[in-house]
Amino acid sequence: MSFDSDLHIAIIGLEIPHFEKLKNNIIKQLDEDGISHDVFQDIVTSFTDGRGQFRLHSAYLMDFLDKIAPLFPEVNFDARGLGEEFRDTWVAEYREGRREYTQGPWDYDAVTQTPPSFWSRVLGHRKKS
């Protein structure tokens, strides 16, 4: 399980999120998730510089983007999460505030054809056969 992750963001178009206006809502989501407020600045960096580094599992980053993308539906962007493990990689496309395309992350220990849930990937739980 990897908790050092990179998040790459490619903005489609010229519009970027107005993070100062969104800060309270994003901080509220971090609080609900039990995540440090430091992540707010890492998200800003990811969107402004195209890349940010996190001490979080990359699957959480996709889940977090799913939660905050509706706050700025006018911003279309592509995202890529890269964790420590080679298969801990995913790509996603966000359009009009929601994820429309996803590939990954790939599970080393998959025992069924059903993709594992977010929390089962993070916590390492597997279905019993």
Stretch 66-81: mean pLDDT: 96
Question: Cβ contacts of residue 40 below 8 Å, gap of 6+?
Answer: 19, 23, 26, 27, 30
CA atoms within a 13 Å half-sphere pointing along the CA-CB vector of 4? 3
Give the rounded percent of residues in the chain with a pLDDT score beyond 70: 81
Instruction: Output the pTM of the full model.
Output: 0.79
Per the model's pLDDT, the better-predicted residue between 8 and 117 turns out to be 8
Start-to-end CA span in the chain (Å): 22
Cα distance between residue 80 and residue 92, in whole Å? 6
- Cβ atoms of 25 and 72 within 8 Å: the answer is no
Helix or strand holding residue 10 (H, E) = strand 5-12
CA atoms within a 13 Å half-sphere pointing along the CA-CB vector of 88? 21
Give the model confidence (pLDDT) of 17-68 as tens digits: 999 999 999 999 999 999 999 999 999 999 999 999 999 988 899 999 999 9
Q: What DSSP state is assigned to residue 55?
A: S
Give the rounded percent of residues in the chain with a pLDDT score beyond 90: 66
Domain layout of the chain by residue ranges: 5-123
Helix or strand holding residue 100 (H, E) = strand 98-103
Dihedral class, residue 13 (left if φ above 0, else alpha if ψ from -120 to 50, else beta): left
